[in-house]
Amino acid sequence: MRRKLLRAFGSVALAGAAAAASPSGDVPDETLRLARDLCESAAKGTRAADWVASLTDRVGPRLAGSPGDRESIAWALSTLRALGFERVRAEPVRVRVWRREAESGEVVAPHRLPLVLTALGGSVATPADGVEAEVFRVHSLEELDSAAAGAAGKIVFFDKKMERAADGSGYGRAVDVRSHGASRAARHGALGVLIRSIGTDDNRLPHTGGLDYEDGAPRIPAAALAIPDAELLARLLDAGERVRVRFRLVCGDSGEADSANVVGEVTGSRKPDEIVLLGAHRDSWDLGTGAIDDAAGCGIVLEAARRIRELSRRPARTIRVVLYANEENGGAGGKEYARAHAEELPKHAAALEADAGTGRPRGLSWLAGSSAAPTLAAIAPALAPAGAASLFPEGTGGADITPLRAAGVPVFAVLQDATRYFDYHHTANDTFDKIERDGLDRTTAAVAAFAYAAADLVQPFERVPPEKRTAPRRR
């Protein structure tokens, strides 16, 4: 079957040029050949790591609204221009500003022991002398609700372990306590929340990440414990001890600030008003330098588009690179892009986001109309040199392109091996030395090959059907 998909067929006219079509009818053979050549070449080595190093080493942490955020806008504009992209610009985005200043914790009974923790993004501060109370342990939101009376006047400790998995699925099953634990505990009278870090490592480095305060619920302080410290609490509680903890957070919101989505393009040769979007988020948390999350994604989409730009035969549609603002702490960049480009979204033929670090590719996920299936089957062999030829329907795209999915834009992602990604995610350990160059290059290769093919189809992918445009709400 694969040989058939790559076999030359008779020539057909396409925008005044002769081009043979694949069995799907939408992918010219010349397009498939060039896409596979892109993939083979990039899989052997790219400059993606250069752009990652440049962003992490010259700018560093890039929390929305911070000085690093502003510096990264200038970096992105300068880099896109230096690489020869067209229509380079910064599109304004207003972002929420949250600051972290100081944090500490300790067990005060039955023994006095230090705790390593970090405030969850968006948390309110504790009182000046901290919060002190007995610990009430639960393992899930559901367990908290079933034992709600025990939370009143306590510090709720969510001891929910994230499971390691190549597809990263353990994150989705564990992250609800980070997102919603503070509001749920507050409704039951808790004074504060500690969570076992949502991660898979055994380092004494806590994982931050955003929380969502629910309307109408009191706002109580919330922090993540380093996993060894969460296990310390668990051992004491398992031994039957009544554990009392004090923690102090100096942090909080500081209003709003100006930021930007930074955009650059490779103009299409025949349908320049139609867009294939390659996105990544420019911001990061403040503990590390955001190398895997998401300087790696920025490096991937920059390098993939740069390689397409250098081809002698440009694709029909425009490749648009968007380096989004504020994915980590509010998602304002993705929402504002969709709002600002609302009239143009019907001409967005596809959107792909890179936000999964540097693990090797596992395949391509997709969400589009059902007629996209044979077209993607024709494209898939071109991704084989990167190890990304497997297709996974019912994908979700990525956080920044979710608003585009809501408008029917077909969304895609190169799935990557996430076995070690959550060892470093949202920690001080997210630094350039964690970049796996082979995985980075292979992912870049797959993104470049897919983007070229998607931008050169005879007909664009069928839009996401209305019943699949709303992402399920995670509890």
Residues 6+ apart with CB under 8 A from 240: none
Question: Residue 223 — φ and ψ, nearest 5°?
Answer: -140, 160
How many whole angstroms separate alpha carbon 335 and alpha carbon 327? 10
Tokens of 378: 């024709």
Is the separation of the CB atoms in 405 and 466 below 8 Å? no
Q: Contact at 8 Å (CB) between 455 and 315?
A: yes
Tell me the CA distances in angstroms from 232 to 115, 137, 159, 235, 313, one per residue in order.
9, 13, 11, 5, 60
For residue 126, give both structure tokens.
């504790």
Catalytic residue status for 327: yes
**Does residue 377 contact residue 320 with C-beta atoms inside 8 Å?**
no
Which among 389, 392, 459, 302 is positioned nearest to 36, based on CA atoms? 389
Are β-strands 411-416 and 361-367 bridged in parallel, bridged antiparallel, or unpaired?
A: antiparallel
CA 228 to chain centre: 26
Catalytic residue among 303, 327, 328, 336: 327
Whether 99 and 221 have beta carbons less than 8 Å apart is answered as no
Please give the C-alpha separations between residue 386 and each of 330, 404, 413, 455, in angstroms, as whole numbers: 33, 27, 14, 19
Instruction: Name the residues annotated as catalytic.
Output: 327
